[in-house]
Structure 1
C-alpha cells in the first residue's frame, strides 16, 4: 500500500480554489456518458458531483490566509498483490477508503477526540495509472529514447530544408532502436504517460484543512509530528502523527480483507530500509524460508534486481546491500511495491 499526503499547491498550478485539482481528477470521465462516469463519494454518500466538491471545499476556509493550503490530497495506491486479493473490486476499495479516513481522523492530537465526523473530505476512484520517469521500465528505456529523439530532430531538420541527409536511413535507425528498447507493452516502447496494463485502481482523496464546522484547523502539517502546547493551564498534544496513520492504514486493509502481508510490503520495512539498511537486511535474513522466497518474488515483480538473498550475514557486504537498497527505493517511489 502506497499512501502519499500532499498539500494544496499555492503557486501557479492550484491557486485559491479546489477547482483545478477537482477538474484534474475528472480526467478519466472525459468522453463518457453520465452513467459510465466515476463520481465522488464521502463517508456516507456516493455519486457526488464535482461541482459540489468544489463548492464545499472552497467554502470551508474560514480564517485561512492566502498563503495557507485550503486542502490536502491523499493518494491511496494499493499494490498489484493487494488489488488481486480483493479482486480489484471498486466497492471494496470504497469501503476501505472509509475505514482509512477513520484512521486519518484518529491520528490527530487535539484537546478533544477527533473522529471522521469532524473531517470534510471527498474521494474518487480511478482505474488507470500511467508510467512516469521514476518507473524502472522508463528509466531503462531512456538511452534508446534519447537516441530516437535526436534522430527525430534530424528528420525534422531535413524535412524543413535546414539539413541534408537520407531520411530513409534515419527512419530505419529509429525503427531498429524502437525494436531494441528493453521494455515494451503491446509491442510499443514504454514511455512516460503510457497507461499501465493490469489492475491499476487507486483512490484520490481531497480533504479540507478545516473541520466540518469550518472553525478548527485539521492540518497534517509539514513535519507530521506531535507537539505539546498549554491550553487552560494544561499540556495538550497538538499535531498529526503520520507514522500512526500509515501503520493503522495498513492494518485496516489487512484486517478488513484478511490480507497476509509479507515483510517487504510493510511500512515497518520501509522505515527500516530508510533509516537502518543493515537491520532491514538482517530482518530479511531472519524470515522463514517460504516468506523469504515470497519476499524475493515481490521484489522481482517490482523490478528490483535481486541476484540472491544472502543465506547468512557474512554475505551482506556493504556494496551489494547499498545496490539492492537503491533498487528497492526506486520501486517504492514508483509505487511498484506495496510498502
Structure 2
C-alpha cells in the first residue's frame, strides 16, 4: 500500500475552488454509459455528484486565507498483489477507504469540543479509479526511450521526404521504424509501450479530497502540519495540535490486512520503506534473513519493480554488499516507491 497526502495547489483556479481537481477526477467517466460510472462517496453515502462535492468543499472554507490550502488530496494505492487479494473489488476498496479515514481522524492530535477528532468531523469525498497509464518515470518507458528517440528521428526524416524537403528511401526508413517498434524491450499486446498507454492488470486506486476545515466549518484540520503531536498555551488555554502521518499510514496498512486477512510481505510494509530510506544496508540485510518462502516472495516483488536482486541472493555471512551494489539496488527500489508500483 502506497499512501500519499498532498496539499491543494495554490496557483490558478485551485486557490479558491475544488472544481478543477474534481473535473480531473471525473476524467475516467468520459464516454462511459451510466451503469459503468464511478461516483464519489463519503463515509456514509454513495453516488454523490461532482457538483455536490464542489459545492461542499468550496463552502467549507471559513476564515481560511487566500494562500492557505482549502483541501488536501489523499491517494490510497494498493499494489497489484493487494488488489488481487480482494478480487479488485470497488466495494471492498470503498469499505477500506471508510476504515482508513477513521485512522486519518485518529492521527490528529487535536480536540473538538473537548473530545478527540473522529471521522464524523472529517468532510471528505472519495472516488475509485480503475485505470493507470504509463508515465515517464516508469521503467518500461525509460528502457524503451532509446528506441522512441530513434523512431521519432526516422519519422521526421519520412515527413521531410514526403513534403519534398529532402530525398531518401522511404521504404527503407519505414522498414527500420517497424524493426525498432518490434525490438523495443517492453511491449503490450504487440505494441511498444509508450506514455499514456493503459497499464495491464488490476490498477484500481482511490482518490480522496478532504476539506481543510472540519465538518462544522469551525476548526482547521491540516494533515500538512509540521507538528506530529504537541501541546501549547493559546489565550490562556492548553491546546493540542499536530498530525501523525506515520501513524495514519501504518495503521491504514494494518487496517487493510485485518479487513481482508492479507499476509503482508516485509518489502510491502511501511516499516520496510522507512528502513530503506534511513538505512538501506539494514533493509537489504533484513531481506536476506527472512524465512525461505518470505525471502523468495520479497525477491519476486522487488524484481517486478525493476530492481536487480542478484547480489541479495548471496549469503551475507559470505560477502558484504558493496557500496556500488547498494546504490544500484537503491535506484531500482527508489523508482518503484516513487511510481507506487509496489506496496512498500
Distance 1:191 1:224, change over 3 A: farther
Distance 1:338 1:71, change over 3 A: same
Distance 1:325 1:217, change over 3 A: same
Q: Residue by residue, what CA displacement relative to the aligned partner does 1:243-276 show, whole Å, maximum 9, x if unpaired?
A: 1111011000001111111100001111111111
Q: Is 2:340 the partner of 1:331? A: no
Q: How does 1:192-231 map to 2 (within 5 A)?
A: 192-221=195-224, 223=226, 225-231=228-234
Partner of 1:109: helix, strand, or coil?
Answer: coil
Aligned partner (choices 145, 148, 151) of residue 145 of structure 1: 148
**Distance between the aligned counterparts of 1:235 and 1:153, measured in 2?**
68
Greater mean deviation of Cα atoms: 176-185 or 163-172: 163-172
Partner of 1:122: helix, strand, or coil?
Answer: strand
Aligned partner (choices 261, 277, 280) of residue 283 of structure 2: 280
Tell me the equivalent position of 1:265.
268
Aligned partner (choices 327, 331, 342) of residue 322 of structure 1: 327
Q: Is 2:315 the partner of 1:311? A: yes
Partner of 2:73: helix, strand, or coil?
Answer: strand
Aligned partner (choices 160, 166, 176) of residue 173 of structure 1: 176
Tell me the equivalent position of 1:250.
253
Distance 1:138 1:223, change over 3 A: farther
Q: Is 2:157 the partner of 1:124? A: no
Partner of 1:281: helix, strand, or coil?
Answer: helix
Tell me the equivalent position of 2:46.
46
Q: Is 2:119 the partner of 1:106? A: no
Checking the alignment, whether the CA contact within 8 Å between 2:257 and 2:263 is kept in structure 1 is yes
Alpha-carbon shift at residue 159 of structure 1 (Å): 2.7
Tell me the equivalent position of 1:290.
293
Distance 1:148 1:121, change over 3 A: same
Greater mean deviation of Cα atoms: 49-58 or 235-244: 235-244
Q: So what's the TM-score if we normalise by structure 1? A: 0.96
Partner of 1:6: helix, strand, or coil?
Answer: strand
In angstroms, what is the RMSD of aligned CA positions? Answer: 1.6
Aligned partner (choices 126, 139, 153) of residue 136 of structure 1: 139
**Distance between the aligned counterparts of 2:309 and 2:70, measured in 1?**
43
Q: So what's the TM-score if we normalise by structure 2? A: 0.94
Q: How does 1:87-102 map to 2 (within 5 A)?
A: 87-102=87-102
Checking the alignment, whether the CA contact within 8 Å between 1:264 and 1:295 is kept in structure 2 is yes
Checking the alignment, whether the CA contact within 8 Å between 2:311 and 2:325 is kept in structure 1 is no
Tell me the equivalent position of 1:73.
73
Partner of 1:315: helix, strand, or coil?
Answer: coil
Greater mean deviation of Cα atoms: 155-164 or 288-297: 155-164
**Distance between the aligned counterparts of 1:122 and 1:16, measured in 2?**
18
Count of residue pairs brought into register by the alignment: 339
